[in-house]
């Protein structure tokens, strides 16, 4: 075992430990995080039917509007460790750590261990990647699946092995069953890399890709086709699909609605917001409830807007528009499409600004330098060339998407950019260092990239300059470590060029000392670029990321210094894992106690009209809740006749008629019928006479009398 091997493994262990600390430390402060998803996971733990269909509610009326694979993992962890906020967040935290280890291994195969370590470190400290690792959105599970696909693809391209191409397609297909079409954003990299590889003939490559495509579609659509083949009466309604099919969900709500404006890049207004309603089908703008919907959508799902910070602590005395924004930071927008579209979108002062841009200049300039160094052509005849195409073709389509898309997307989607940026940054630093040592005009790539990246980081820090003293400290460290070291590197390079021009020859000892000095300067500059994103990511260990729009970065740092956060959380849950800073209000607690005393088929059962209400009952009690709407609130989960049959069979007895539930929503006919035929229930904390005079108050109706009267006819 060589010394180099030991050093490499120690360095890797430290990077993995850092990632584990950022992702796992104090994870319980996140509570249940996104309560909409958490409610679905709890429902899935109750029976296999709910588990397979990913039902939102224990009664199995409607599904969550996502594929199930990522949440199946959360459910398995909840069954092993018990349902809690910590247990459902653990799969994402572990996926983040494994992804850091995996990207090191993939980059090492082509560009060596140093590039792999730098890439792993950059990924580990990227703020949005850390935030999503500490949230129950499943985007980082998707990243793990796609990194596994890249590992298999790199072997397939290098050796022309069909089985590895198939394995890559399987992983992408599994990714599809985690986040649907989002997984296909890596498809350009898969096809272009394999087509341009040279291990086998072009004819075989085309045949392989054709067969692989069929396998990809089979794996991707396996769950969807099974669900859609089951008669609608025997399964839950597919939430947010509009036609009660998973295929409708794939092509609509989770498909075209996410692509608004992306096909009109050069012919559309670059103003913020894109479409006036927050993107096609994206719901009402500015977090306002739309007319005709029975209630606000539930918290934090990425299908449509919701009041930011619902069921959460808000930032202390700030004017931030963005989720989790720092006091006084003035970040604009809540959704990505509310920010001006264009190449500078990710660098501008908005809710996206401090999440992903930290290493983009290094990645882009490093890619260009590596292309020149490796003499990249259309024929990809070695691992380095193949790696460059793989990571750049992952990066480019997504950079364009996030820069120009005016359809609905959230800031935490940017985690999809973290792996290719980290990979290209690691590759770029190593390639530019090799070019710097060679001398000549190519030697200027490294200092130029370091200065450009430092300038971008300084710009982002300036957005938060007045927020806290720690921002000024970070700016000072950036200037000292990155800018001064890079300027020294420039001076050293100029002197080296002068000596070459003058024909002066230096001794080997002097060259060795100069090389060591250059290494120190480059290392200090790189450390300077790592400090700020690492500081922003580390804040997530002490202050919870926003449950609906998870984000770390500089927006979390000021809260730590202001001292007005006494609870130890910046937003989202509390330390007991309840996912809500408050407790059940008296009337709700009284209703739960009433239901527990009047069981329906041996269970505490209640039907509600909105998913928002359902998730609260699911997470705060053991009531067997049935929801008459999904996330968007506009689904017709069942017809009035179907509902009547459930009443007659005894499966439905108590119904909560919520405030303003009759605003013309899809459940208005059912709720009108309930009010006409049900009997108002009196329980502790309520008064029937008072409720009868207040048509907007929450009222509970008992339908047993109606069912008995029909049975007696």
Q: List the end-to-end C-alpha distance of the chain, in Å, as a whole number.
A: 87
What integer pLDDT is reported at residue 261 of this predicted model? Answer: 52
Integer Cα distance of 258 and 249 in angstroms: 12
Contact 429, 118 (CB under 8 A): yes
Q: Which residues contact 42 (CB under 8 A, 6 or more apart)?
A: 58, 78, 83, 618, 619
The whole-number pLDDT of residue 81 equals: 96
Question: DSSP letter at 263?
Answer: G
Exposure on the CB side of residue 437, measured as CA atoms within 13 A:
15
326, 564 in Cβ contact below 8 A? Answer: no
Q: Strand pairing of 654-657 and 605-608? A: parallel
Separation CA 56–CA 38 (nearest Å): 9
User: Which of the residues in the chain have pLDDT under 50?
Assistant: 1-2, 263-328, 559-583, 661-664, 688-696
The token pair at 278 is 């927050």
Beta strand 605-608 pairing with 624-627: parallel
Q: Per-domain residue ranges for the chain?
A: 586-711
**In sequence order, what are the beta bridge partners of 627?**
608
Q: Return the pLDDT at 580.
A: 40
pLDDT of residue 53: 96
In order, the DSSP letters of 328-368 are T---B-SSGGGS--STTGGGSSBTTTTTSGGGHHHHHHHHH
3-state class (DSSP) for residue 295: coil
**Cβ pair 635, 62 in contact under 8 A:** yes
Distance CA 346, CA 448 (A): 21
Contact between 17 and 23 (Cβ < 8 Å): no
Determine the Cα–Cα distance for residues 453 and 462; give it in Å rounded to an integer. Answer: 14
How far apart, in whole angstroms, are the C-alpha atoms of residue 457 and residue 487? 17
Question: 292's torsion region: left (phi>0), alpha (psi -120 to 50) or beta?
Answer: left
Q: Alpha-carbon distance 227 to 586, whole Å? A: 40
What's the pLDDT tens digit per position in 660-702? 543 345 678 899 899 999 999 887 655 544 444 444 457 899 9
3-class SS letters over 296-323? CCCCCCCCCCCCCCCCCCCCCCCCCCCC
- Which residue is it, tokens 């506009």? 634
* Residue-by-residue DSSP string for 554-616: TTTHHHHHH----SS-SSS--TTS-S-SS---HHHHHHHHHHHHS-BTTB-EEEES-HHHHHH
Backbone torsion region of residue 526, taken as left when φ is above 0, otherwise alpha when ψ lies between -120 and 50, otherwise beta: alpha
Residue located via tokens 């005849």: 381
The answer to whether 702 and 653 are in contact (CB under 8 A) is yes
**What pTM value is reported for the model?**
0.86
Looking at residue 604, its pLDDT comes to: 82
Phi-psi region of 404 (alpha: psi -120 to 50; beta: other; left: phi over 0): alpha
Query: What pLDDT score does 377 carry?
Result: 84
> Distance between CA 703 and CA 621 in Å, rounded?
22
Look at residues 14, 25, 75 and name the one whose alpha carbon lies nearest to residue 552: 25
- Which contacts of 625-628 are long-range, i.e. CB under 8 A and separated by 24 or more positions? 625/57, 625/58, 625/59, 626/57, 626/58, 626/59, 626/60, 626/61, 626/652, 627/56, 627/57, 627/59, 627/61, 627/62, 628/61, 628/62, 628/666, 628/667, 628/670
Rounded Cα–Cα distance for residues 578 and 445 (Å): 51
Match 């739960």 to its residue by tokens: 592
pLDDT at 291: 31
DSSP bridge pairs for 702: 654, 679
DSSP code for 656: E
Close Cβ partners of 296 (under 8 Å, ≥ 6 residues apart): 289, 306, 307, 310, 610, 612, 633
Q: Is the dihedral of CA 531, 86, 298, 45 positive or negative?
A: positive
């Amino acid at each position: 075992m060589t010394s180099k091997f030991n050093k490499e493994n120690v360095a890797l262990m430290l990077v993995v430990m850092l990632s584990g600390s950022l992702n796992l430390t104090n994870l319980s402060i996140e509570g249940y995080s996104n309560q909409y998803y958490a409610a679905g996971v709890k429902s899935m733990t109750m029976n296999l039917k709910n588990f397979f269909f990913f039902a939102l509610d224990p009664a199995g009326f409607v599904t969550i509007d996502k594929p199930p694979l990522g949440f199946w993992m959360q459910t398995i962890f909840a069954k092993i460790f018990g349902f809690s906020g910590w247990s459902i967040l653990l799969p994402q935290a572990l996926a983040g750590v494994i992804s850091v280890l995996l990207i090191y291994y993939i980059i090492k195969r082509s560009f060596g261990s140093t590039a792999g370590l730098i890439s792993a470190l950059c990924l580990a400290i990227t703020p949005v990647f850390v935030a999503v690792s500490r949230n129950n959105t499943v985007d980082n599970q998707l990243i793990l699946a796609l990194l596994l696909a890249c590992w298999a693809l790199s072997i397939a391209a290098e050796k022309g092995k069909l089985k590895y191409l198939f394995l890559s397609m399987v992983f992408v297909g599994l990714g599809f069953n985690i986040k649907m079409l989002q997984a296909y954003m890596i498809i350009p990299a898969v096809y272009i890399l394999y087509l341009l590889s040279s291990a086998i003939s072009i004819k075989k490559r085309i045949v392989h890709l054709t067969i692989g495509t069929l396998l990809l579609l089979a794996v991707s659509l396996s769950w969807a086709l099974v669900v859609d083949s089951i008669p609608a009466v025997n399964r839950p309604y597919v939430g947010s699909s509009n036609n009660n099919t998973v295929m409708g969900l794939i092509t609509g709500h989770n498909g075209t609605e996410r692509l608004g404006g992306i096909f009109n890049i050069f012919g559309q207004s670059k103003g913020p917001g894109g479409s006036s309603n927050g993107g096609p089908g994206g719901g009402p703008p500015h977090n306002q409830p739309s007319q005709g919907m029975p209630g606000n959508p539930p918290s934090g799902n990425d299908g449509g807007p919701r009041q930011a910070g619902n069921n959460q602590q808000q930032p202390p005395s700030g004017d931030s528009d963005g989720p989790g924004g720092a006091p006084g930071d003035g970040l604009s927008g809540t959704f990505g499409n509310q920010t001006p579209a264009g190449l500078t979108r990710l660098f501008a002062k908005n809710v996206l600004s401090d999440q992903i841009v930290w290493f983009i200049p290094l990645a882009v300039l490093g890619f260009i330098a590596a292309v020149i160094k490796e003499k990249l052509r259309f024929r990809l005849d070695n691992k380095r060339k193949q790696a460059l195409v793989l990571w750049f073709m992952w990066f480019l389509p997504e950079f364009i998407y996030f820069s120009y898309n005016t359809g609905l997307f959230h800031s935490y989607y940017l985690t999809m950019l973290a792996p290719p940026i980290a990979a290209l940054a690691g590759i770029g630093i190593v390639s530019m260092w090799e070019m710097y040592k060679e001398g000549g005009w190519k030697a200027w790539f490294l200092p130029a990239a370091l200065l450009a990246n430092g300038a971008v980081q300084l710009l982002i820090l300036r957005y938060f300059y007045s927020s806290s003293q720690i921002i000024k400290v970070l700016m000072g460290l950036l200037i000292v470590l990155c800018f001064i070291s890079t300027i020294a590197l420039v001076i050293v390079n100029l002197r080296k060029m002068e000596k070459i021009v003058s024909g002066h020859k230096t001794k080997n000892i002097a060259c060795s000392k100069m090389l060591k000095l250059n290494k120190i300067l480059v290392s200090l500059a790189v450390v300077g670029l790592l400090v700020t994103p690492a500081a922003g990511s580390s804040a997530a260990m002490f202050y919870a990321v926003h449950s609906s729009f998870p984000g770390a970065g500089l927006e979390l740092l000021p809260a730590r210094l202001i001292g007005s956060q006494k609870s130890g959380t910046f937003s989202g849950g509390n330390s007991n894992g309840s996912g809500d800073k408050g407790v059940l209000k008296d009337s709700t607690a009284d209703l739960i106690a009433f239901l527990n005393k009047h069981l329906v088929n041996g269970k505490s059962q209640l039907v509600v009209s909105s998913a928002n209400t359902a998730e609260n009952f699911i997470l705060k009690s053991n009531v067997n809740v049935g929801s008459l709407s999904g996330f968007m609130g506009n689904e017709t989960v069942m017809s009035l006749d179907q509902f009547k049959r459930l009443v007659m069979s005894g499966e439905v007895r108590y119904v909560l008629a919520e405030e303003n539930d009759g605003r013309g929503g899809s459940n208005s006919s059912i709720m009108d019928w309930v009010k006409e035929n049900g009997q108002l229930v009196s329980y502790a904390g309520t008064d029937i006479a008072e409720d009868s005079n207040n048509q907007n108050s929450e009222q509970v109706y008992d339908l047993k009398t109606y069912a008995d009267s029909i049975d007696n006819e």
